[in-house]
Chain A
Amino acid sequence: MSNSTISNSTLSESTMAGASTSGIPIPGIFPRRSLGTDLLIKLRQNIGLVTAIGLFCVVYVFYHFAHPKGFSSAVFVQNADEVFTLAMVAMAQTLPVLAAGLDLSVGAVMTMVGCLASYLLSGAAQGTPIEFSFGGTPHILATLPGGIAGIIAGTFICLIAGTLAGFFNGCVVVYGRIQPIIATLATGAIYIGIALFLRPTPGGKIDDDLNWALTNSLQDFASTVHIFDDGNAPWFAPFGTIPVPFILIVMIALLAWVPFRRSVTGRSVYAIGSAEGAAYMSGLRIDRAKLAAFTLAGFFAGCGGLFLAIQTSSGNADIPQAGTYTLNSIAAVVIGGTSLLGGTGGAIGSIFGALILRVISFFFRIFDIAPLLQPLFEGIILLAAVSIGALRVLRVKNTLELFR
Chain B
Amino acid sequence: MVEENRSENAARQGDFLILSDISKRYGGVTALENVDFACGRGKIHAVLGENGAGKSTLIKIVAGVVQPDAGTMRLEGEEVRFPSPSSANMAGVASIFQELSLLPDLSVADNISITSPPRRLGFIDAKAQRRRAEALLAEIGCEDVNPLMRVRDLPLSRRQMVEIAKALGQRPQLFVLDEATSALTSADVEKVYAMLARLKAQNIAILYISHRMHEVEALADRASVFRNGRHIETFDWGRRSTGEIVQLMIGRDIATQYPPKPRRPRAKPALKLENLCWEKRLEAISLEVGAGEIVGLGGLDGQGQKTLLLALFGVLRGVTGEIAIKGKPVRPASPAFAKSRSAGIALVPEDRKTEGLMLPMSITDNLAIASLDALATGPFVDRAKERAAVEKGIARLRIKIGDSKDAVSTLSGGNQQKVVIAKWLMTEPGIILLNDPTRGIDVGTKQEIYRLMRELADQGVAILFYSTDYDELIGCCDRVAIMYDGRIVRELEGVDLTEHNIIASALNIDGAAATSATGEAAHV
User: Which A residues are within 8 Å of any B CB, using their own CB?
Assistant: 3-4, 6-7, 10, 17-18, 20-22, 24, 26-28, 30-33, 37-38, 41-42, 45, 259, 262-264, 267, 270-271, 273-275, 277-285, 342-344, 396-400, 404
Contacts and interface: CB of A to CB of B under 8 A. Distances in A.
Q: A-B pairs with the 9 shortest C-beta distances?
A: A283-B86, A343-B105, A274-B105, A281-B101, A27-B485, A262-B123, A274-B103, A30-B144, A7-B515
Contacts of B84: 283
A278 B103 contact: yes
A404 B110 CA distance: 20
B65 A27 contact: no
A396 B100 CA distance: 25
Nearest to A400: B315
A1 to B, nearest CB: 10
Contact of B122 (A263, A270, A273, A399): A263
Given A30-B145, A398-B316, A282 B114 contact: yes
Interface residues of B, number: 66
A38 B146 contact: yes
A400 B104 CA distance: 16
B519 interface: yes
B155 interface: yes
A283 B115 contact: yes
A3 B303 contact: no
Nearest to B318: A397
Given A3-B515, A24-B507, A263-B123, A281 B105 contact: no
Interface string B287-310: 000000000000010110000001
Nearest to B122: A263
21 contacts: A18-B144, A22-B190, A24-B187, A24-B507, A26-B144, A26-B185, A27-B485, A30-B145, A37-B146, A38-B146, A41-B148, A41-B149, A271-B103, A273-B105, A280-B85, A281-B85, A284-B86, A284-B115, A397-B279, A400-B315, A404-B152
Contacts, number: 143
Among the interface residues B126, B146, B511, B515, which one has the most CB atoms of the partner chain A within 10 A? B146
Given A273-B105, A277-B101, A280-B85, 15 more contacts: A7-B515, A18-B143, A18-B144, A20-B144, A26-B300, A27-B484, A28-B302, A30-B145, A30-B158, A274-B106, A281-B101, A282-B101, A283-B88, A284-B115, A397-B278
A45 B115 contact: no
Contacts of A7: 511-512, 515, 519
Nearest to A280: B85
A37 B485 CA distance: 22
Nearest to A260: B123
Interface string B196-239: 00000000000000000000000000000000000000000000
A284 B102 CA distance: 12
B134 interface: yes
B114 A284 contact: yes
B97 interface: yes
B74 interface: no
